Amino acid sequence: MTQSTSVEHGSGHESQGFWRTYLFSQDHKTIGIQYAITSLLFLLFGFTLMMIMRWQLAYPGQPIPLIGKFLGEANAPDGIMLPEFYNQLGAMHGTIMIFLGVVPLGVGAFGNFVMPLQIGAPDMAFPKLNMMSYWVYFAGGVTMLGSFLLPGGAANSGWTSYPPLSDIATIGQTAWLIGMFFLITSSLLGSINFIVTIVQLRAPGMTFMRLPFFVWAQLVTSFLLLLAFPPLEAAACLQLMDRLAGTSFFLPSGLVVSGQVVQASGGGSPLLWQHLFWFLAHPEVYVLILPAMGIVAEIIANNTRKPLWSYRSLVYSTLFLGFMSFIVWAHHMYITGMGTTLGTFFQVTTMIISIPSVVILAVLIVSLWGGSIRFTTPMMFACAFLPMFGIGGLTGLPLGLAPTDIPLHDTYYVIGHFHYIVAPGSIFALFAGVYYWFPKATGRRMNDTLGKIHFWGSLICINTIFMPMFIQGLAGVSRRLYDGGAQYAHAQGVLSLNLVMSVAAWSLAIFQIPFIINFFVSIRKGKKVGDNPWDATTLEWATSSPPPHGNFIRPVEVYRGPHEYSVPGAARDFLPQNDPA
């Protein structure tokens, strides 16, 4: 709050000491890197949980090799996983991947690092809030991880935490709720900061229609976080009251658990949670995908050496998408017995929201047409994003319509659908972003050969994991089954796919090793690069790599749109936004 007294230097090159520089930094670039490293570690952790689960699915009831005996007697006696533990892993895999991995990487890391640079700002509007947002996120992460050590383990009611189960679950669920309060607070602070920065701190000449698309994506994402998370916070308050103060917001009258009538006043409704939860969780889908689309758009414009095809459609579609995402939530709830009138409304809005999504994807695909494409590592990930997101999106359409959703609901088909959006979709785009902006953050490039091994290996493995899920789902195999469906007759024909998917998941882990090596070795040994190694036009490339504290030595002014590549008559094939020529 009193930053007028704390940082009062113009060019901003003074050393601030170890703690202020690396740990409790208020510099958006350092905070962005903190977010990046923390969220990448969480992604790895969440992935590890899934790899353990995949053993149980491939070999139900057999002892887990190597790590089985370290999981604890309460979780996996003799290395054989208990169903309760499987539920914890499933719930925490989802929670960690979404709230601690992909969103903090897409928004906290890339948004923080890149957005102020792209708009020509010296930092975020509220640097102290920015620091606080990271540390509150960190506290949320610690709470979530620490909950594994509680009696009864971590939350085990799924990442959706549906009551009444979650109301009567072990204490890990309370930790989950407290962890969510931290994460919601963090994203609230972050989103306010992002919006104010974009609106207030744009450099002279940076009008809204000259913003790089990545910044637009962050702006809409921030509004979604700002307005969609509070209803979940409200729901979390109510669930916390149910669990701690004995209220019955989500407990219906006469609820029977294990043959006993639950001692509670009753009168509540489990559906209330579902409404409040999905009011957040549907916009959350766009929080997961919009930053990814922003990254892909920047990389495609840069590597095709031509402007995005119809930047304006991209922007208006994104705004419309953001608005519509608030009125589609109940398409997650068709099997709750909702009336056909309400169902019709949500089916219509869901079909409408698919239009801007398709427009965005079409713009990105058409942008490739006629370009002289450079197949750099970031570009390969960005290109792969397009069909992967396409598969994820198209397989979502049958889930948006009640007649087809009802048989598919809660099957592996749903798991396949949203993983195509988030894993080879968002996460591929995030990898693209890491390869693309790494030179800006470190002054060095990541190795291309290792990058391509990482790309091809990941692409093949990830499709081998998720494509069979559609087959299993169409055969009717339910999600969240401890044995992967082994005890169901209708699952027998597709059961062998479980092993295929598991082997692919473990192989995917092996193909992340080149990335991890590449990331850490390149920080010290990567090929040195100049300020603008990709010949890009946006403002983050107009300053040194890494940029100094305060970002720009001289004030920047903006003269043109974000992606002026191959302008006829220009001396070079790119015109930076700050180039008055």
Partner 1 sequence: MNIPYTSEVRPDTGVYNAKLGIWLFLASEVMLFGGLFSAYIFLRTGAATWPHGWEILNIPLATTNTVVLISSSVTMVMAWASLAGGNFARFRRFLGTTVALGVAFLAIKGMEYGMKFEHGLFPATNTFLAIYFTLTGLHGLHVIGGMIVNVYLLGPGSKMWRKDPQRFTNRVEVAGLYWHFVDLVWIFLFPVLYLL
In angstroms, what is the minimal distance from the CB of 256 to partner 1? 19
Hey, what are 301's tokens? 């414009």
Contact between 3 and partner 1 (CB under 8 A)? yes
Per-residue x/- track, 4-43, partner 1 (CB under 8 A) = x--xxxx-x-------------------------------
Total site size for partner 1, rule CB under 8 A: 53
Nearer to partner 1, 268 or 451 (CB): 268
Q: What does the alpha-carbon distance between residue 167 and residue 269 come to, in Å, rounded to a whole number?
A: 12
| 375: number of Cβ within 10 Å | 11
Nearer to partner 1, 231 or 485 (CB): 231
Surface-to-core class of residue 219, CB atoms within 10 Å of its CB (0-12 exposed, 13-18 middle, 19+ buried): buried
Helix, strand or coil, per DSSP, at residue 139:
helix
- Cβ pair 92, 149 in contact under 8 A: no
Nearer to partner 1, 71 or 264 (CB): 264
Q: Which residue in 156, 193, 354, 543 binds partner 1 (CB under 8 A)?
A: 193
Q: What does the alpha-carbon distance between residue 506 and residue 498 come to, in Å, rounded to a whole number?
A: 12
- Cβ pair 495, 486 in contact under 8 A: yes
Nearer to partner 1, 276 or 432 (CB): 276
Contact between 550 and partner 1 (CB under 8 A)? yes
Contact between 87 and partner 1 (CB under 8 A)? no
Contact between 341 and partner 1 (CB under 8 A)? no
> Nearest 5°: phi and psi at 560?
-155, 175
Helix, strand or coil, per DSSP, at residue 61:
coil
In angstroms, what is the minimal distance from the CB of 189 to partner 1? 9
Nearer to partner 1, 269 or 512 (CB): 269
Nearer to partner 1, 50 or 124 (CB): 124
In angstroms, what is the minimal distance from the CB of 122 to partner 1? 5
Contact between 139 and partner 1 (CB under 8 A)? no
Nearer to partner 1, 187 or 577 (CB): 187
In angstroms, what is the minimal distance from the CB of 336 to partner 1? 13
* Residues contacting 310, CB < 8 A, separation 6+: 363, 366
Nearer to partner 1, 197 or 458 (CB): 197
| Contacts of partner 1 in 199-258 (CB under 8 A) | 199-201, 226-235, 237-238, 241, 245-249
- Cβ pair 440, 540 in contact under 8 A: yes
Rg of the Cα atoms in the chain = 24
Q: Which residue in 145, 192, 358, 394 binds partner 1 (CB under 8 A)?
A: 192
In angstroms, what is the minimal distance from the CB of 128 to partner 1? 11
Nearer to partner 1, 72 or 246 (CB): 246
Which ranges of 402-561 would DSSP assign to H, the alpha helix? 402-408, 412-421, 428-442, 448-474, 497-510, 513-525
Residue ranges with strand state E in 217-355: 256-257, 260-261
Q: What does the alpha-carbon distance between residue 501 and residue 55 come to, in Å, rounded to a whole number?
A: 10
Q: What does the alpha-carbon distance between residue 200 and residue 125 come to, in Å, rounded to a whole number?
A: 8
In angstroms, what is the minimal distance from the CB of 217 to partner 1? 18
Query: CB under 8 A: which stretch of 187-195, 358-366, 391-399, 502-510 binds partner 1?
Result: 187-195
Q: Which residue in 125, 211, 423, 432 binds partner 1 (CB under 8 A)?
A: 125
Q: What does the alpha-carbon distance between residue 558 and residue 568 come to, in Å, rounded to a whole number?
A: 20
Nearer to partner 1, 316 or 326 (CB): 326
Contact between 543 and partner 1 (CB under 8 A)? no
| 261: number of Cβ within 10 Å | 11
- Cβ pair 435, 518 in contact under 8 A: no
Surface-to-core class of residue 385, CB atoms within 10 Å of its CB (0-12 exposed, 13-18 middle, 19+ buried): buried
Nearer to partner 1, 195 or 379 (CB): 195
Contact between 123 and partner 1 (CB under 8 A)? yes
In angstroms, what is the minimal distance from the CB of 5 to partner 1? 8
Half-sphere exposure of 20 (CA within 13 A, CB side): 9
Which conformational region is residue 267 in: left (phi greater than 0), alpha (psi within -120 to 50 degrees), or beta?
A: left
Query: CB under 8 A: which stretch of 125-133, 336-344, 431-439, 484-492 binds partner 1?
Result: 125-133
Q: What does the alpha-carbon distance between residue 521 and residue 516 come to, in Å, rounded to a whole number?
A: 8
Q: What does the alpha-carbon distance between residue 261 and residue 254 come to, in Å, rounded to a whole number?
A: 6
- Cβ pair 98, 159 in contact under 8 A: yes
Query: CB under 8 A: which stretch of 102-110, 188-196, 388-396, 487-495 binds partner 1?
Result: 188-196
Nearer to partner 1, 122 or 387 (CB): 122
Residue 260, beta-bridge partner list: 257
Q: What does the alpha-carbon distance between residue 503 and residue 334 come to, in Å, rounded to a whole number?
A: 34
Query: CB under 8 A: which stretch of 196-204, 403-411, 412-420, 573-581 binds partner 1?
Result: 196-204
Nearer to partner 1, 241 or 523 (CB): 241
Which ranges of 475-571 would DSSP assign to H, the alpha helix? 497-510, 513-525
Q: What are the Cα distances from residue 7, in Å, to 1, 23, 85, 203, 454?
A: 11, 17, 49, 20, 42
In angstroms, what is the minimal distance from the CB of 473 to partner 1? 32
Q: What does the alpha-carbon distance between residue 97 and residue 104 come to, in Å, rounded to a whole number?
A: 10
| Contacts of partner 1 in 257-286 (CB under 8 A) | 264-265, 267-269, 271-272, 275-276, 279
DSSP letter (8 states) at residue 444 = E
Contact between 196 and partner 1 (CB under 8 A)? yes
In angstroms, what is the minimal distance from the CB of 501 to partner 1? 38
Per-residue x/- track, 422-451, partner 1 (CB under 8 A) = ------------------------------
Contact between 387 and partner 1 (CB under 8 A)? no
Q: What does the alpha-carbon distance between residue 480 and residue 418 come to, in Å, rounded to a whole number?
A: 15
In angstroms, what is the minimal distance from the CB of 166 to partner 1? 16
Q: Which residue in 56, 133, 191, 463 binds partner 1 (CB under 8 A)?
A: 191
Binding site for partner 1 (CB under 8 A): 2-4, 7-10, 12, 122-127, 188, 191-193, 195-196, 199-201, 226-235, 237-238, 241, 245-249, 264-265, 267-269, 271-272, 275-276, 279, 549-550
